[in-house]
Amino acid sequence: MFEIYIENMWRKLSEEENNEFTYLDSLWFSLHAKGPHNSKVLSWIKRKDIFSKKYVFVPIVQLYVLRCYLFVFDIFKTEERPENKELIRKLPLLSPKVPQQKNSEECGIFVLYYIYKFLKSAYGNVSFSTGCTHFMKENWFTHEDVERFTKSLNPIICDV
């Protein structure tokens, strides 16, 4: 259901926003991490032309930043980009202190809402020098905001 809603969210973006933002399927990171599907996952990513975008959302559950960097490095290699590991390590993989879900069942909704809020807050408002930490704080939104967002979703998705 997560993928259905995020695709719907992307269809509603303006052409300008679509030129700046993209996302990777939430399953691609875990498929890549398991090994045997690496080449398929990387070919899917290559078709998304992510290096033409300013922001790329990679919705993953991962506590170990090194694995995230290895994933990014593999993407760079597949795209035959000239960047090396040192340069890739300098990429900002942000994990800001933002509102947290109350239980493990709300994770997908919270990730969707983070992306939604970022799309609305970041467009034309973020640069590498300022980052996004000036608006992505623990008081960025409330649980009531997430509840309203959830109610605005397609009823099929809300039932899941």
* Total tally of structural domains belonging to the chain: 1
Report residue 31: phi and psi, to 5°: -65, -40
Calculate the CA 63 to chain-centre distance. Answer: 15
Mean of the per-residue pLDDT values for the chain? 77
- The full DSSP string for 11-69 is HTS-HHHHHHEEE--TTHHHHHHHSTTHHHHHHHHHHTTGGG-SEEE-----S-HHHHH
Q: 108 falls in which pLDDT band (50, 70, 90)?
A: confident
Calculate the CA 97 to chain-centre distance. Answer: 16
Separation of alpha carbons 23 and 45, rounded Å? 10
pLDDT of residue 15: 92
Q: Are 149 and 109 in contact (CB under 8 A)?
A: yes
pLDDT beyond 80 at 14:
yes
pLDDT beyond 70 at 48:
yes
Question: Looking at residues 132-147, what average pLDDT do you find?
Answer: 78
CA torsion sign for 97, 102, 104, 110 is: negative
Its pTM stands at 0.73
Residues of the domain holding 6: 2-158
pLDDT beyond 70 at 129:
no
pLDDT beyond 70 at 158:
no
| CB-CB neighbours of 137 under 10 Å | 12
Amino acid 68 reads C
**Who has greater pLDDT, 2 or 14?**
14
pLDDT of residue 139: 80
